[in-house]
Chains A and B, each alone.
Chain A
Amino acid sequence: MSTALQALVGPFVEFPFMRRALVATWALSLGSAPIGCLLVLRRMSLVGDAMAHAVLPGAAAGFLLAGLSLPAMSLGGFIAALAVALAAGFVTRHTPQREDASFAAFYLIALALGVLLVSLRGSQMDLMHMLFGSVLAVDDAALLQIAVVASITLWALALLYRPLVLESFDPGFLRSVGGPGAAVHMALLVLLVANLVSAFQAMGTLMAVGLMMLPATAARFWVAGLPAMAAVAVTIGAASGTLGLLLSYHAELPSGPCIVLVCGAAYVLSVLFGARDGVLSRHLRKPVHLSR
C-alpha cells in the first residue's frame, strides 16, 4: 500500500517542478474547462486550434519590431488572436455566417500573414517554438499568469452567467428585450483569447487546447446543465493532468501529449460508459419497462 502511495505522491513531494506542473494544470483546467463547455455548446469546438495559429502574425510582428523579445512577441500574439476573434465575432453578428466559418476564414488569413512576415526576416528560427512553453518548465511568472487568468475567467463567467446563457441559447429573445448580446459575446471571445494565449505561453498549444476542449466534450456524457457540466469538466481536466504527469514520470513519456492523451482516454470512456447517452451504458442498464 505504501509503495502505491509513494508512486502517486512521491514525485510531487520530491520535485518542485512536478508540483508546479500540477498546480499549473489544475489552474488551467479551472479557467479553461468552463469556456470549453461554452464553446462546445456554441458549436465552436475547433476554434481553440484555430487560435493557436492566429497568434503567429502578432508574434512575427513583435519579432520584427523588437527582436527575440518574449514580452513583445507575447503581446503581439495576444493582440493578433484577439483581432481574429473579434473580427470573426463581428462577422457572425452582422451577417448570416456562423462562427465556425468566420473563425476559419480569419485564422487562415492570420496564419498566412504570419508566415509571410516570418519569411521577410529570413531567419531559420522557429518563432512558435520560442513562444510556446512546456508544462515541465512552468516558472513563477507563468504560474501566476495562469492563476490570475483563471480567477478572472471564473469571476467573469459567474457574473455574466445569465446573459451568456441567454445569448447562447436564444439570441433573438435577448435582442428583443434589449439585452447586451454583443457585449456579452465579445466578453466571451476576450476570455477565450486570454485563456488560450496565456496557456500557450505557459504550456504549449497541445495542452492549452487539449485541456480546454477534451474535458468539456467528455462532461456532456455525464451531466446536463451548464454549471454541472463545467464542474465535471474541471474535475476531468485536473484528474487527467495529475494522472498524465505521473505517467510521464513513471513511464518516461513526454508530458504534454501524455496529459492530453489521458484526457482523451477519459473522453472515450465517457462516450462509451457515460451515464448520459453513453453508447454502451444503454445496453448495460436494464431497460426500465422490464424492471420489476
Chain B
Amino acid sequence: MSLNQPMTCINRRSLIRAAALTALPAWTALPLRAQTQPTGAAPQIVASFSIVADMVREIAPAALEVSALVGPDADAHVFAPTPAHGKRLAQAGLVVVNGLGFEGWIDRLIKVSGYGGAVVEASRGIAPLHGGHHGIDPHAWQDLSLARRYVANLRDGLAERWPQHQAELNDRSAAYLERLATLDRQVREQLGAIPRAQRRVITSHDAFGYYAAAYDVDFFAPQGWSTHSEPSAAAVARLIRQIKRDGVRALFVENISDPRLIQRIAQEAGARVGGTLYSDALSAAGGPADTYLKLFEHNTRVLVAGLTAPQTRAR
C-alpha cells in the first residue's frame, strides 16, 4: 500500500481487515450458539456482580436460577474474565449488569461468548453523579431510593424475558420495595441522630458518593494518596492534619491498604478506626453483608458506631 492511494481506500481495506479479525473470536463461539438454550435445565440469569445478583434473587421466582460473574468479596474493577465465564454467559437466559461503566469488561465478554439475548441494565434511567474512573460514579446502589429504580428495572427486564412470571415478579418486587423503603427510613433516622458536623469519615475507596449525597454524610478521600502504593511521609502528615482540621471522626479500612498505617494515623489524629465498609461486593455467605439489605444495614451500623464513639485524644 503506497501513501499515494486515497485515504478512503486505505481506511476501507484496513477496516474490513480489522472487522474480520475482531469477528474471529465470535466465529469460534459459533458452536456455543447452538447450546444457548439447553433443554431441561433451569433458565439461568447471569448477573455481573454479587449485589445485583442478590437483588435479582429477591424478586425472581424460584424457577429461575441466578449467578454472578464477580462473586462475593471479589473486586469487579480488577475482574479478569476466563473462558468459563464466557461459557456461562453463552448459556444464560438473561444477562443483568449494573451499567454506568461499572463493568468495563462486560461488552467484550458478551461478544466473545456469543450470547445474543437481552442485557438488562439495572441503573437505567438514573442520573449519575460525578466521580469514579470515567467521570461517572457507578455505585448508585449505595442510595436506597435509587435502589428502588434498580428493582423496577430488573422486574421489567425479567418480565419481558419471561412474561409467564409477570405476576410473581410484581408481587415479590413490591414486597422487596417495601423492605427497601423501611430500611431507608431507619438509616435516615439513625444518621439524623448524629449532629451534621460530626458526620465526617474518611474511607479509601471512593464508592460512597451516592450514600454521601442521599444521607448527608461527608466521605473524604485521603488527600493525595493511592492505597496501592507506599505513601510518602508528606501524605501521612497531610492526612493527619486533615483529620484534625475537619473533625473527621472515623477512618474506614479497606482490606487492600496497610491496616497498621491506618491505625497509626487514626491514633495520632484522634480518630477511630471503624470496621469494614462493604462497597462493591457482598461478603461471603455467612458474613455480615451477604445480602444487599444486610450490606446496607451493616455499613450504616458501622458508620454510626464510628461516628458516635467519643472522640479519642490524639496520641
Contact = CB atoms under 8 A, between A and B. Distances in A.
A and B touch in the complex (CB under 8 A): yes
Interface of A: 11, 14-18, 21, 129, 133-134, 136-139, 245, 248-258
Given A15-B268, A16-B268, A17-B265, A137 B260 contact: yes
B237 A250 contact: no
9 contacts: A15-B237, A16-B315, A17-B233, A17-B237, A17-B240, A17-B264, A133-B258, A136-B233, A251-B234
Contacts of A14: 237
Contacts of B264: 17, 136-139
Nearest to B234: A252
- Specify which of A137, A255, A257, A258 lies most central, judged by the most chain B CB atoms within 10 Å of its CB: A137
A255 B268 contact: no
Contacts of A248: 232-234
Contacts of B181: none
Given A15-B237, A18-B237, A134 B261 contact: yes
Interface of chain B: mostly helix, strand, loop or mixed: helix
Interface in B60-97: none
Contacts, number: 68
- Specify which of A21, A138, A248 lies most central, judged by the most chain B CB atoms within 10 Å of its CB: A248
A136 B234 contact: no
Nearest to B265: A17
Interface of B: 224, 229-237, 240, 258, 260-261, 263-265, 268, 315
Given A17-B268, A254-B229, A249 B237 contact: yes
A17 B243 CA distance: 15
B259 to A, nearest CB: 9
A156 to B, nearest CB: 29
Contact of A257 (B224, B230, B234): B230
A23 B260 CA distance: 18
B233 A139 contact: no
A134 B232 contact: no
A254 B260 contact: no
A213 to B, nearest CB: 20
A253 B232 contact: yes
A254 B263 contact: no
Nearest to A68: B255
A252 B237 CA distance: 10
B260 A11 contact: no
B236 to A, nearest CB: 5
A15 B234 contact: no
Contacts of B263: 137, 139
A249 B234 contact: yes
B233 A134 contact: no
Contacts of B235: 252
Nearest to B240: A15
A233 B230 CA distance: 26
Contacts of A258: 232
